[in-house]
């Protein structure tokens, strides 16, 4: 995977962020979701390098080979604001003060927070398979609670660690061929480390507490994304079925929104790397 890329472990203060980076040209950050690592982008990143990007692929704090502080009662160590600060520090360490940004799944919330808090650093942003956390919570239905039960299960203290730790392979599953052997092996190694499982669960606990509060404060202050926003979603996932048009929802949070669905399962970077890379290139290289 990631032929020609370098790897670095960058100290950001209270965590160490593992990052792959390669290519030359316009800097572009790719943020993964749960329970993946940066390796989920292994089919997309080389395509973007060929299109003239410098591609930076971190593991989010608490995921993969990145570290995270011990959990705090308020879960702020796993907040999207903390994750956003990590990415800003990583990019400055690599010599990039302004960059384009992509987030998928949980990584989309870190990307959203980074773009909201640091518009001077983010040129354009693409958010994949997500709407704001508070928009999810405003639309709770039995169908949502059933399909996305993991949001609320992961928020419980102690129990999820015990359940997942009993058999991480059974819990997370995954298709080796669909993911790619090295990506699968990296994900599998990560979820067998108890501290990674805790870090990933803390991400969700922060989502329903401190991250929710941050979004509520944004909405009360009428803060909006000021840079162009691309919203993409997987047509063989359930985001649109549960919540309607994601672009319409994001228009309440951004001044310049465009988007469309992609024929893919949820893990779009693995399932539809060509169409995804094409959509991102068209947006970031208008």
113 vs 262: CA distance, rounded Å: 24
* Beta strand residue intervals within 32-114, DSSP E: 53-58, 99-104
Look up tokens 């329903």; give the residue.
208
18 neighbors 25 (Cβ within 8 angstroms) = no
* Three-state DSSP class for residue 227: coil
Of 105, 117, 203, 271, which one is the catalytic site residue?
A: 105
The pair of three-digit structure tokens given for residue 146, joined into one six-digit string = 């059933």
Indicate if 266 belongs to the active site: yes
Indicate if 105 belongs to the active site: yes
Of 34, 118, 123, 266, which one is the catalytic site residue?
A: 266
Q: How remote is the C-alpha of 161 from its chain's centroid?
A: 21
78 vs 69: CA distance, rounded Å: 8
* Sign of the CA dihedral with 128 first, then 261, 279, and 254 last: negative
The residues that bridge with 233 in the sheet, in sequence order, are 261
Catalytic residue numbers? 105, 266
């Amino acid at each position: 995977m990631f032929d020609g890329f370098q790897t670095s472990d960058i100290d950001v203060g209270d965590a160490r962020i593992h990052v792959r980076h390669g290519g030359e040209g316009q800097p572009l950050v790719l943020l993964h979701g749960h329970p993946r690592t940066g390796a989920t982008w292994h089919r997309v990143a080389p395509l973007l390098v060929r299109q003239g990007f410098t591609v930076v692929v971190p593991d989010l704090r608490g995921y993969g080979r990145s570290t995270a502080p011990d959990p705090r009662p308020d879960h702020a160590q796993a907040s999207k604001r903390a994750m956003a600060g990590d990415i800003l520090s990583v990019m400055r360490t690599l010599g990039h003060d302004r960059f384009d940004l992509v987030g998928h799944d949980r990584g989309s919330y870190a990307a959203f927070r980074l773009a909201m808090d640091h518009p001077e650093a983010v040129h354009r942003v693409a958010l994949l398979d997500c709407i704001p956390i508070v928009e999810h919570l405003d639309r709770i239905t039995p169908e949502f609670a059933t399909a996305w039960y993991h949001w609320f299960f992961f928020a419980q203290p102690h129990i999820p660690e015990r359940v997942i730790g009993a058999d991480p392979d059974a819990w997370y599953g995954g298709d080796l061929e669909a993911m790619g052997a090295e990506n699968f092996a990296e994900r599998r190694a990560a979820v067998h480390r108890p501290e990674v499982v805790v870090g990933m669960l803390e991400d969700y606990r922060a989502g329903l507490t401190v991250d929710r509060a941050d979004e509520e404060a944004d909405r009360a202050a009428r803060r909006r994304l000021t840079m162009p926003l691309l919203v993409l979603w997987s047509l063989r996932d359930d985001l649109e079925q549960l919540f309607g048009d994601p672009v319409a929802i994001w228009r309440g949070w951004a001044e310049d929104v465009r988007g469309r669905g992609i024929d893919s399962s949820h893990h779009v970077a693995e399932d539809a790397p060509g169409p995804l890379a094409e959509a991102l290139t068209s947006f970031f290289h208008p």
